[in-house]
Structure 1
Amino acid sequence: MDSSGSTTSNHTLNSTGGGCPWEISDKARLCRFLCYGSEGDVYTAREEGRVSLENAGALLSLLQEGRGSEVVEEIKRFSQDGRAVRLSTSIFALALCSQHSELKTRQAAFKALKEICRDPAHLFAFIQYKKELKEGMKCGIWGRALRKAVSDWYNEQDAMSLAAAVTKCKQRGGWSHQDLFRLSHTKPARDAIALISKYVTKGWKEVQVACADKDNSEEVVKVLSYLEVVEKVKHSCDETEVINLIEEHKLEREQLLTDHLKSKQVWRALLKEMPFHSVLKILGKMTSNKILESGSSETQIICDRIQSESALKKAKIHPFSILLASENYKRGQGYQGKTKWEPDSSVLRAMDSAFYRSFMNLEPVGKRFVVAVDVSTSLSSVVPGTAISTAVAAAAIAMIFARTEADVHVLAFSEGTVVPCSLSAHMTLAETTAELVKIPSGSTDCTLPITWASDNGKSVDVFIILTNNPLWTFTASPVESLKKHRQASGANSKFVMCGLTSIGHALADTEDRGLLSICGFDLGALSVIRNLAQDLI
């Protein structure tokens, strides 16, 4: 990186941190909280803990300092730019700001509501968080500001999008659209919104009566016919009619009855327009239900779609998502329940093809990386909550950085030995895995990659250590080794310790912003690393 690049990095750190670039300021803690729900330096993969005030100390401190508007802007940035691993944290933070004593903060929070809570599930979560916060903060919920914000949320939606939304997600977490229309005293701004409001609060029969013999606008006619379809499918026992309605009006499974979902033909119709992420999740179920059978036209359609470059690009699917789904499908058994299936070879081939094609969706971070794989213990154990072996996970992570970034060194290390690995863009996942595990095992010393970089005159922005060994031996402290590398290279080096199977590797100096631990591994972990590399957390 040139000198101008280093200056930019320092400026960004200071803008998030304050004086010293490695000091963990309240702003830095807020950004961690918005990213993964904790102000600490440990990200735990696949852990959806309940967000609470206990984890939001920095957020509360910033509000007390009168920096509420700044906090709301940060919440918007994290939720809109895809930086937040869990959107629930952003929604909780927004609810907290909306109940703060300072008027300017409350106004900023309510103004941001429709930008952050983009679908009904988010809106219901926001209202529920406000209800939970009410007790501790000794304040009401349904004041004029919330009533206006909820009314605006409904009134500013496209009518057809709102009609689809209220029929797909009717209620969540104890709240329904009926509750929100009633409690917000929403006065519909347009006839089409008034029609949806009546449908939600009074039911379909009242809508039919209200719209009969009226000269309705084009927008109202469209919404009316869509709601008529939704009602028709709810009362239909005719399989052919249900399938025709799904295909003609792009209905989704949330709009159907449980009985409809017992039909293979109905599932076949749903699969045609089903979002890509949803398709990946239900491949096992579809195979178990014999909807995807070897050599069938449905299986061919799904295989074509899975490996379609345009479909992969449109869904912005990440290679790691494909790998998780593929290994889970290969496993032939769900994690919950008794669903079992015989994996179809053509589906597995399509998933394999999709994995490599999806690398086109990755955007480089533009930093200098060392990805170091600890081979001191067998990498045959499995990453918790997945069907992926730690060896395959390590190889996939190495490939993701090696294929995306211009300046990456992949290392295999163990007990005094560091072996640079040569990964070409044409290598398969199996070849990459074999390349990583070819050196003999020994004890773990996680300072070796830093020492290697310093000895070889490499300036590194981010060291990523991948290990599944909870027992380490150190020739020196990783923190001290990192500080020496920073001084010698002039780089703002960061250090990420990924315990692929662990419950947590605590690093010695938690007051250094450049240090982070990851327990387990998932797609969120890659977002966390990206945010750290870009000085965003």
Structure 2
Amino acid sequence: MEPSGSTISSSSNHPLNSTGGVCQWEQGRGAEVVEEIKRFSQEGRAVTLDPSLFALALCSQQSELKTRQVAFKTLKEVCRDPAHLFSFIQQKKELREAIALISKYVTKGWKEVQLAYSDKEKSEEVGTVLSYLEMVEKVKHSCDEAEIIHLIDKHKLEREQLLTDHLKSKQVWRALLKDMLLQSVLKILGKMTSNKVLEPGSSDTQALCDRFQSQTALTKAKIHPFHILLSSKNYKRDQGYQVKTKWEPDSSILKAMDSAFYKSFMNVEPVAKRFVVAVDVSTSPSSVVPGTSISTAVAAAAIAMVFARTEADTHVLAYSEGVPVPCSISADMTLAQATFELVKIPGGSTDCTLPISWATESGKAADVFIILTNNPVWTFTASPVPSLKKHRQQSGANSKLVMCGLTSIGHAIADTEDRGLVSICGLDLGAFSVIRNLAQDLI
């Protein structure tokens, strides 16, 4: 449906204008678009409300949550009578026609979709979806390997869209790997090596290694370095966790993943906060983080590297008892070197208050303390909570504390309602999201 009668300006700075083919709500200015719609409708500057209702319906279906919320909040101020509301609802229905088509396909099947849309006038979007679904149906009923590979190449199909029998073919897997998301590739490296889809010295293996070492590919995939590290260690251990699949790790793939680990630090967006990352060295560094094949020492070093490389104001400490030891983990340091910096410190009993006291006494205000420990039960001689409160008072910072038990299965810091305290048991990619959201006051 084409809007008509609009008197909206086409100025290059106008929030409804498109710059370089990108609408302004895609540039985070959706709320401005809604405000402009509201202003035009209230000032009576449009001949009819239909274009405004169309634009408002469009805003109410954008991916950005803030834009959708503002659009629905503004609805009651734009709609002057029931007819306007019904018009808005109709606009939304027409905009969601493609979604309705997909829902019918999922619930009723392809034949019902064909019957429902055979005589109906189709928008360009609906036509595109129909063509795509027709191709999916074609793949589902094809036993011709060459045809399946052609459709994979032409339509960039993913393995979830193929039948189990299709995935018995090495050539089909090789076709899928060409454009498979790197996140998906990391999950099946072992299987593809075991099945000889990826063989040493093959062109497919070389192409995959090139992708792992491509800064452009890594940036596009937005893979976190810790994700690559976990996948690399899992691949190196030569067998899966829940299946009996075994493989001989390919040295060229391991080398490419090692390169990808360091290059992917560019994907970590800084939060511009002051961090203190403290590693407990009181117990054995050879223990393993549950659910992974990575040692706690390497995990702690990787975490320290993430913050040291991406946050301008980060202090890394090693501690057990006595005085915490600052560790100079630089941007050009390898993971092995960073790990050595941590484990060379003599161990002792655990005192997790030391990193906080060190920051307070040194006059180094911290927004977030991240304390990593191997202690599975966290039987500390003193709670870190009083030390944190003292640091807040003296520094004036609204300091947060993350206690991460790398080998723990469920123990809290203390019985407190302080929203600035978080306990994490074990470690995965989700932990980084929690720390990031805590630092930005989102949780």
Q: Please classify the TM superposition score into its range, dividing by the shorter chain length.
A: 0.7 to 0.9
2:290 and 2:426 in contact (8 A); partners too? yes
Structure 2 unaligned blocks of 5 or more: 1-27, 29-58, 66-87
Q: Alpha-carbon deviation of 1:261?
A: 0.3
**Cα displacement string for residues 184-223 of structure 1 (whole angstroms, at most 9, x for unaligned residues):** xxxx6xxxx4xx5665565444655777799977655544
**Kindly tell me: are residues 409 and 244 of structure 1, through their superposed partners in 2, closer, same or farther at Cα, counting changes over 3 Å?**
same
* 1:236 match: secondary structure: coil
Distance 2:434 2:113 in 1: 48
Q: Alpha-carbon deviation of 1:294?
A: 0.5
1:397 matches 2:298: no
Q: Which has the higher contact order (CA 8 A, sep 6+)?
A: 1
Give the 5 Å matches for 1:458-537: 458-470=364-376, 474=380, 476-537=382-443
TM-score normalised by the chain length of structure 1: 0.63
1:370 matches 2:276: yes
Q: Alpha-carbon deviation of 1:349?
A: 0.7
**Kindly tell me: are residues 489 and 334 of structure 1, through their superposed partners in 2, closer, same or farther at Cα, counting changes over 3 Å?**
same
Q: Alpha-carbon deviation of 1:150?
A: 12
Give the 5 Å matches for 1:264-279: 264-279=170-185
**Kindly tell me: are residues 482 and 213 of structure 1, through their superposed partners in 2, closer, same or farther at Cα, counting changes over 3 Å?**
closer
| Code of the aligned partner of 1:431 | Q
1:338 alignment partner in structure 2: 244
Give the 5 Å matches for 1:220-369: 222-369=128-275
Give the 5 Å matches for 1:198-237: 199-200=105-106, 203-205=109-111, 222-237=128-143
| Code of the aligned partner of 1:354 | A
Distance 1:158 1:273 in 2: 29
**Kindly tell me: are residues 442 and 206 of structure 1, through their superposed partners in 2, closer, same or farther at Cα, counting changes over 3 Å?**
closer
| Code of the aligned partner of 1:524 | G
**Cα displacement string for residues 418-460 of structure 1 (whole angstroms, at most 9, x for unaligned residues):** 1110111000000000000101111100011112112222111
| Code of the aligned partner of 2:270 | P
Aligned partner of 1:423 among 326, 329, 334: 329
1:370 and 1:410 in contact (8 A); partners too? yes
2:338 alignment partner in structure 1: 432
Larger Rg computed on CA atoms: 2
Q: Alpha-carbon deviation of 1:470?
A: 3.2
Matched positions, count: 365
Q: Alpha-carbon deviation of 1:153?
A: 8.5
Q: Alpha-carbon deviation of 1:474?
A: 5.0
2:80 alignment partner in structure 1: none
* 1:497 match: secondary structure: strand
**Kindly tell me: are residues 242 and 436 of structure 1, through their superposed partners in 2, closer, same or farther at Cα, counting changes over 3 Å?**
same
| Code of the aligned partner of 1:248 | K
Does 357-366 or 465-474 show the bigger shift?
465-474
* 2:324 match: secondary structure: strand
Aligned-pair Cα RMSD in Å: 3.0
Structure 1 unaligned blocks of 5 or more: 1-79, 81-110, 118-148, 163-187
Aligned partner of 1:444 among 350, 361, 365: 350
Q: Alpha-carbon deviation of 1:347?
A: 0.7
Q: Alpha-carbon deviation of 1:293?
A: 0.6
2:37 alignment partner in structure 1: none
* 1:411 match: secondary structure: strand
2:377 and 2:408 in contact (8 A); partners too? no
Percent identity between the two aligned chains = 77
2:16 alignment partner in structure 1: none
Q: Alpha-carbon deviation of 1:225?
A: 3.5
1:443 and 1:472 in contact (8 A); partners too? no
Distance 1:198 1:364 in 2: 43
Distance 1:151 1:333 in 2: 55
Give the 5 Å matches for 1:379-390: 379-390=285-296
Does 276-285 or 214-223 show the bigger shift?
214-223
* 1:410 match: secondary structure: strand
Distance 2:89 2:184 in 1: 29
| Code of the aligned partner of 1:520 | G
